[in-house]
């Protein structure tokens, strides 16, 4: 069974941006944990929230994804867009919703 994580940016409990792709948790588990430590914090069956500072860290981390990853390019580019929105606004949060 595939576990898919969805993601969106919330500001004061209102959705300001949505991710256009789901993330199959197995795509993350195939990657080196030291290469993408922020993504390894995602939980397949629970929700995970990144604040603006954590989203800025994730934004940097996404540039280290190997080209062979299933996350590249569509999910990576989509996540980068949401990380940029989150990191620009101190009251924004990037939420990941597990199955």
pTM for this model (two decimals): 0.93
Distance between CA atoms of 68 and 60, rounded to whole angstroms?
18
What are the angstrom distances between the C-alpha of 32 and each of 29, 65, 88, 95?
A: 8, 9, 28, 22
**Phi and psi angles of residue 7, each rounded to the nearest 5 degrees, phi first:** -150, 150
Q: Which CATH number applies to 4-97? A: 3.40.1760
- Report whether 22 contacts 96 (CB < 8 A): no
Ordered by start, the domain boundaries in the chain are 4-97
Q: How do the pLDDT tens digits run along the chain, 99 residues long?
A: 678 999 999 999 999 999 999 999 999 999 999 999 999 999 999 999 999 999 999 999 999 999 999 999 999 999 999 999 999 988 999 999 998
């Amino acid at each position: 069974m595939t576990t898919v994580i969805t993601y969106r940016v919330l500001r004061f409990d209102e959705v300001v941006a949505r991710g256009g792709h789901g993330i199959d948790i197995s795509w993350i588990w195939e990657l080196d944990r030291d290469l993408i430590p922020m993504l390894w914090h995602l939980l397949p069956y629970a929700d995970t929230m990144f604040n603006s500072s954590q989203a800025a860290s994730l934004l940097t981390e996404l540039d280290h994804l190997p080209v062979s990853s299933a996350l590249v390019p569509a999910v990576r580019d989509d996540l980068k867009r949401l990380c940029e929105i989150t990191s620009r606004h101190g009251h924004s949060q990037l939420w990941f919703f597990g199955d």
